[in-house]
Structure 1
Amino acid sequence: MYEIVAGIDKSEARGTAIAESITEIPMDASQVRVTLLHDFEENPEGASVDQVASVRRAREVLEDAGVEVALEESSGEPADAILRLADEQDVDMIVVAGRKRTPTGKVLFGSVTQSVILGTDRSVLVCSGEEE
């Protein structure tokens, strides 16, 4: 089984881009398991991962392609949560979607994608997700 962790934020466009990119990887979908992780940086209402539209959409795309999907949620720093789950599950690949930012914006505000890439020795697929 090929194991993937995908970090899904609240952007439905980026969630869909991640799911579609995974389905385009040339492998037998029945041999792939994807864990969709949504990190609640703030969650005063106590929402669950099932209630996040971007996660639901990504799951739908993956399941329609025959990929096994699991859902996980956390709270805190998204990059740390993605890296921790990837290590816990000993995954083969991490998938994230980048945001369009200027080079200066990336330096000043950091980047989940950049932190994930620099924080692991695992393969990382970075998808292009258009802003909504």
Structure 2
Amino acid sequence: MYHVVLGVDEDEERALACAEQVADLPGDPGEVSVTIIHSFTDNPSGASATQIHSVRKVGEFFDDHGIDYEVTESSGDPATAIIELADEEDADLIVVAGRKRSPAGKALFGSVTQDVILRAGRPVMVAGTAKKA
């Protein structure tokens, strides 16, 4: 069994790009289990992760591809939440989405993906959203 922690934000395109990469991992989809995590940085309405559209879409994708998954949520720093969950579950792989940002944007707002890559003590796959030719 191969266990993946998949960090999902609100962007459906990035979330589905990550899900596609998980489905493309070698082996049978039945040998993969995924924990989808959504970390709320601001949640005044008290929503749960399963109410986030991108999380639901990834779940539907995994259902269609026969991949077992569960959904969890956290609050606070997303990178820390992803890394801590991967450590707790002894995940084989962390999957996060990349996105293009200017150097100033990275300096001002940081990058969850970059933080996960630099701090995780296990393999990290970064899925892009570039269109296939």
TM-score, scaled relative to structure 1: 0.94
Partner of 1:31: 31
Instruction: State the percentage of identical aligned residues.
Output: 52
Q: Deviations over 1:70-125 (max 9, x none)?
A: 00000000000000000000000000001111233223321000000010121100
- List 4+ stretches of structure 1 deviating above 6 A: none
Q: Does structure 1 residue 62 correspond to structure 2 residue 59?
A: no
Q: Deviations over 1:51-72 (max 9, x none)?
A: 0000000111112111101000
Cα distance in 1 for residues equivalent to 2:107 and 2:124: 20
Cα distance in 2 for residues equivalent to 1:92 and 1:9: 21
CA RMSD of aligned residues (A): 1.1
* Gap regions ≥5 residues in structure 2: none
Cα distance in 1 for residues equivalent to 2:79 and 2:102: 20
Cα distance in 1 for residues equivalent to 2:9 and 2:3: 20
Partner of 2:121: 121
Cα distance in 2 for residues equivalent to 1:11 and 1:74: 17
Tell me how many residue pairs correspond in the alignment.
Answer: 130
* Gap regions ≥5 residues in structure 1: none
Partner of 2:8: 8
